Amino acid sequence: MKKVFIFLVSLFFLTSTLGIANAQFCDDGDEDEEHPDGVNPEVFATCVNHTYTYDDECDPEDPTGTILIEQYCQHMGGDPDYYNCNWQEFSCSTINKICVDGQCVEPCLDSDGGINVYVKGTCTDAGGSYDDACIESAGLSTSVNELFCQSGECYWQENSCPGEMICIDGACTNQQESSSNNFDVYEFSARIIAKLIGNRLI
């Protein structure tokens, strides 16, 4: 009888300890000295409790693209050691940013709307401004270094111009149009030179 009593007491103590440990367990990956409560909108993180995980995420129903669902650990109930994951809305617009991939980031703008090889665009993010540019090879360019926005930052990728098109000044264009444009420039220059030396083009 004594052994049974000791066993029951030990079992009660063990289960109680495990219950307290589970209740206490809550971890939020974006806690730091400046954000001890884990509410850190500029860092993506996952809140983990003893049962589930919850990611910071942008509100999928927000048409403005600025609302962040921020996860954090919060004290729950009367037990001072009981913490669990909770969430709150945070508007990235209050710090002049937008919500991308579960965090507030500097807005990124691409003047040609993304990957558009037919238009020379300028991509601007927190680091500066970058233009689409031709990639030259042996004096002729048939590829464009195309800038675009991703996760609030400017990225680039090499894109080949379609068909017989070539790249001029950061955009793909037809060779015929290019030749015509060059002729116009040459003709205009020739007329200026002819006027300066008193000759007239026939």
Average pLDDT value for residue range 4-21? 41
pLDDT band at 24; cut points 50, 70, 90: low
pLDDT digits (tens, 9 = 90+) for 111-135: 999 999 999 999 998 788 999 999 9
- Which stretch of 28-37, 48-57, 192-201 has the lowest confidence by average pLDDT? 192-201
pLDDT digits (tens, 9 = 90+) for 56-80: 999 999 988 899 999 999 887 777 7
pLDDT at 20 over 70: no
Domain ranges of the chain: 2-105, 109-196
Residue type, 23: A
Where are the strands (E) in 1-152, listed by range?
26-28, 46-49, 53-55, 57-58, 67-75, 83-91, 98-100, 103-105, 109-110, 122-125, 128-131, 133-137, 140-150
Global confidence as pTM? 0.53
**DSSP-assigned letter for residue 33:** S
